[in-house]
Amino acid sequence: MFFVSDPPIEAKIRKMKERVRWQSPPLVERGIDQTRMVLDDGLNDSPEFSFLVVGDSGAGPHRGHNPQRQVAKFMLEQRDNSRFVLHTGDVIYLVGSSEYYLKNFISPYREFLVGGEHPKRIAYDKMLFNMPFLPVPGNHDYYDLPFVYGLIAQASQPLRRLLRSKLEFDIGWHGSGSGLAYTKAFLDYLKGFETIGLREHLDRHYTAKTDTGRCLSYQPGHFTRLPNRYYTFRSGGIDFFALDSNTFNAPIPLPTTTQGQAYRRELENRRDELERQKLQIMEDSAKLRHDVPDEAEQLDDNRAKLEQLEEVQIDIEKQLAADGTSVTDLEQLDWLKQRLIESWNTKDVRGRVIYFHHPPYVTEATKWHQAQTLAIRTRLRWVLDAVANSVGKQAEGRPLVDLILNGHAHCLEYIRTLDTGHADSNLNWIVCGGSGYSLRRQRFEGPELTESFGGSDRAVAKSLLYVGRHGQGSQKRRPYSFLRIDVSDGDPPKFTVRPFVVERFRHQWNHMEMEAFTI
């Protein structure tokens, strides 16, 4: 039994293009670049600036406490010193439904919204931010509910009582609509305009001029829509590239060899075992009382375990279904390659930051061996290798990208790659996915990541910081987190990373700023 379903990649790409009227005549006629925007916030574009980073936040309140709200309130103390907020995906759990934007996004982040003093009056598709709030979609922002399960979840059945009253999954009648709710919440939903209205809208809001044509002008307090599911913008001489990794994470097909068939059987057995574990957790949860604090926290843990097991199951199903016909979003990857090359050939650009949901490098307990992780890593390497071949000596020993930000893993982690044999060597990677939803532990194998080269394993990356769930029983700690990143003047720039943590321990909250580090 699956709680969620993930639409096919080809459906995600097609529907997202339809929603923004990708390259329709009125846009082409005006020379509009739908993958670029300008932050028209009225501020001086200083080479020294700061920005905030959050991710995997959209959980809403837990039993009597709300980690996401605690993080948001702590973020407010850093807002005046920051130019914008990046969100690394999974804005809404469990299935990105429009039904849960009020509870799981609008209410927790109300101070970042115009009219936020009355959050119940804000429609999810009418949100207006008072400072740039710039997300990328996560897998949960695309998830849907199996139709039959949606009916069961709303019916007066034992399953509904178990899942909603005990484990409190945020599920309703429907899911995300293959990302439709995310589109209406954050993107410029051009599909909703008639032809005449569309032209007027474009002439009003796509007025910024860049070297790639006209583009969207993002104006805090006036117009805060994104042009596309992936996009780029520039701040203080730093190019930021936002990607949708949900469309290039299809697993590589299993080999048809005897060894490949044996691995397929191993995956099928593991999938069945995960299903048994899920049923056992559900049975155990039925015995717990949500009005007893320790048992309530155990219910939260059980909900997290179920979601984690489901995620692994989905990854296994994707591996089993991969047959060589799976779609990879080559259009987006080629766009990233070309824009990175252009960035290196632009005199005014002194640094580059990429952010997207699925991390290519991570030591959270379940992610490193997932097929989606390998797929993302392989395809990003393809892009970076091509960029390295193009810019050549132009980089002068500098990394092709100064910083790569991800979510998906429910933790805060800083990783530096070693010699990978590719152009992603010696890069800085930060996972910021612990901003509200259930936290995860670091894998027992430890901080070093290895890959197989010619039959032998070689270290390719090392985790230098991990902030996630740890401890057992009464000593269990839940440190939720966000970042403020300060960008210095100079070429190359320096990035000072300041981690902020709100930790729940023994039913109490503690707020702390961790030691900063510079990369």
By percentage, how much of the chain surpasses pLDDT 70?
Answer: 93
pLDDT tens digits, one per residue of 193-221: 987 899 999 999 999 999 999 999 999 99
Domain ranges in the chain are: 9-252+321-518, 258-320
C-alpha to C-alpha distance for 451 and 242, rounded to whole angstroms: 27
Which residues are paired to 135 by β-bridges? 87
pLDDT at 137: 98
pLDDT at 435: 97
Angle at 438 between CA 437 and CA 444, to 5 degrees: 135
Q: Which of 146-150, 268-272, 338-342 has the lowest mean pLDDT?
A: 146-150
pLDDT tens digits, one per residue of 11-39: 999 999 999 999 999 999 999 999 999 99
How many other C-beta atoms can be found within 10 angstroms of the C-beta atom of residue 21?
19
The structural architecture, per CATH, of the domain 9-252+321-518 is 4-Layer Sandwich (3.60)
Q: Is 440:409 a contact under the CB 8 Å cutoff?
A: yes
Average pLDDT over residues 163-191: 80
Which residue type, as a one-letter code, is found at position 232? T
pLDDT at 148: 44
Q: Per-residue pLDDT for 186 more than 70? A: yes
Phi-psi sector, 206: left (phi>0), alpha (psi -120 to 50), beta: beta
pLDDT at 27: 97
Distances (CA, A) of 245 to 136, 186, 242, 406: 9, 17, 9, 10
pLDDT at 64: 66
Q: Per-residue pLDDT for 359 more than 90? A: yes
Which residues, other chains included, contact 341 with Cβ-Cβ below 8 Å and sequence gap of 6+?
387, 390, 391
Name the more confident of 311 and 208.
208
pLDDT tens digits, one per residue of 126-166: 999 999 999 999 999 999 987 545 444 444 344 444 444 45
pLDDT at 151: 45
pLDDT tens digits, one per residue of 86-101: 999 999 988 899 999 9
pLDDT at 421: 95
pLDDT at 61: 62
pLDDT at 211: 92
pLDDT at 40: 97
pLDDT at 150: 46
Q: For the chain, give the mean pLDDT.
A: 91
Q: Which of 142-151, 243-252, 297-306 has the lowest mean pLDDT?
A: 142-151
Rank 63-72, 144-153, 259-268 by mean pLDDT and report only the highest.
259-268
Distances (CA, A) of 240 to 40, 72, 86: 15, 23, 10
pTM for the full predicted model: 0.94
Average pLDDT over residues 95-112: 95
pLDDT at 236: 98
Q: DSSP string covering 233-272, please?
A: EEETTEEEEE--GGGS-PPPPPP-SHHHHHHHHHHHHHHH
Rank 153-167, 417-431, 469-483 by mean pLDDT and report only the highest.
417-431
